[in-house]
Structure 1
Amino acid sequence: MSRRALTTAALTVLLAACAAQTPRPTLPQQQVAAAETRQIAREAGLRAQQAWSLQGRIAVSNGSKGGSGRIEWAQAGAHYEVALSAPVTRQSWRLSGDDSSALLEGLEGGPRQGLDAGALLRETTGWEIPVVALAEWVRGARAAGLGPAQVRYGADGRPARIEQGGWGIDYRWPESTATDALPERLDARRGEARVRLIVDEWSVGGRE
């Protein structure tokens, strides 16, 4: 599959949807310590729930290279399977692996393998997608093993922005006040690289 296979009109729609987000009020400073305590407990709970999946829409860009489409992500511990498809072109590819190996299928010329999913995507598509870290960021958690992170909390006490590894990840959360609520949108950026994701459906373990 060519690098432009996922570049469709859906990219424009998704960009507009992400751009429409308005800044959310930040948490008063005197409440940040309590929010951080809750976040630490929340992240521990998320890591205990090792099986999860999502369905949604994604747009990626890195300078002049970009694309968009549907995404299905299934995670079981460190193992991931990520499928992307462009409904208009009816083309798709699948990325699978863990934190030490990756396999990318659906490319012209056959499957490609590598030790690092992010490097493999960068070499084959030109896109910058931090797959292993994104598996934690997408649930509103700091990525383990990626160094220090700064968290800015929204007025609801949930992360409005995480900065880690040179990336800035902005979140939009559902109106639900449930403690196990998961983000409905994220926008991750580092330099010219950008990953925008809208989640249509979450499934944790066997629960949707």
Structure 2
Amino acid sequence: MTATAWRAAAVLLVAGALGGCGSLATRQAPPEDVAFTPEPAVETARQAMLALSPQWSFQGRVAVSKGRNGGSGRIDWQQQGDAYQVSLAAPVTRQSWQLSGGAGQAVRLDGLQGGPRSGGDAGQLLLQATGWEIPVEQLAAWVRGMPATGAQAARRGFDAEGRPRVLQQDDWRIDYLDWYPPEGERPPLPRRIDAVNGDAKVRLIVDEWTLGQP
């Protein structure tokens, strides 16, 4: 199979797999203007608590699009230090794909027609395989409301309770639209996130967070 044909098949497979779950709502209000301010003390404390849990996971629903290509489905993200394993699945069609990498290991993408693919950059691997632009390496930090390390300096704005409201980094704007309140030793964590970079969009609703061992 040629590279062009393989990429076309990959796009159809992933879009079809995710499309079987039904899509998240696509209409939304324009991003509101948020003042970029220094990090408040309550956010510094929240990040310090998160640093105590290098092993974490979440399950939820995600919608991704890049131009006319897009779809939605279930997401399961498992993180252990720098290593991650991300699964996307469409229960109706029973199709899925998995992305794993980090901690010095090569990135591996499974579930595509033609067999697994490997590379050194998760975002580039997904873009080449599916035509979608998803900042996987940065999302591990962004999904928890934190700026990504090893990237451009971030600009941030905070809500009335001192939680992140908007984060701009590496040409992406991430809006934190809803939060889970603190529970026990768990600090506040995002419930709903919208990330946009031009015509690339990632919308995430987290149904469950787990910090530490499940």
| TM-score of the superposed pair, with normalisation by structure 1 | 0.86
Residues 169-189 of structure 1, C-alpha deviations (whole Å, 9 max, x = no match): 001233625670100010000
Q: How does 1:66-77 map to 2 (within 5 A)?
A: 66-77=70-81
User: Counterpart in 2 of 1:62?
Assistant: 66
User: Counterpart in 2 of 1:200?
Assistant: 207
User: Counterpart in 2 of 1:113?
Assistant: 118
Identical positions, percent: 46
Give the whole-Å Cα distance in 2 for the aligned partners of 1:162 and 1:5. Answer: 31
Q: 2:94 aligns with which of 90, 94, 109?
A: 90
Q: How does 1:1-208 map to 2 (within 5 A)?
A: 2-8=13-19, 10-12=21-23, 14-16=24-26, 19=27, 33=38, 35-98=39-102, 101-174=106-179, 176=181, 180-206=187-213
Give the whole-Å Cα distance in 2 for the aligned partners of 1:45 and 1:94. Answer: 29
Q: Secondary structure of the equivalent of 2:123?
A: helix
Gaps of 5+ in 2: 1-9
Say whether the 8 Å CA contact 1:99–1:132 is kept in structure 2. Answer: no
Q: Give the count of matched residue pairs.
A: 200
Change (3 A) 1:25 1:109: closer
Q: Secondary structure of the equivalent of 1:142?
A: coil
Change (3 A) 1:123 1:99: farther
Say whether the 8 Å CA contact 2:155–2:168 is kept in structure 1. Answer: yes
Residues 83-123 of structure 1, C-alpha deviations (whole Å, 9 max, x = no match): 00012221100100116521000000000000000000000
- Matching residue's letter, 1:189: V
Q: Secondary structure of the equivalent of 2:189?
A: coil
CA drift of 1:75 comes to: 0.1
Residues 125-144 of structure 1, C-alpha deviations (whole Å, 9 max, x = no match): 11111111000000011111
Q: Secondary structure of the equivalent of 1:156?
A: coil
Gaps of 5+ in 1: none
Say whether the 8 Å CA contact 2:176–2:192 is kept in structure 1. Answer: yes
| TM-score of the superposed pair, with normalisation by structure 2 | 0.83
Residues 129-174 of structure 1, C-alpha deviations (whole Å, 9 max, x = no match): 1111000000011111112111111112101110111000001233
Over the aligned positions, Cα root-mean-square deviation in angstroms equals 2.5
User: Is the deviation greater in 46-55 or in 114-123?
Assistant: 46-55
User: Is the deviation greater in 107-116 or in 177-186?
Assistant: 177-186
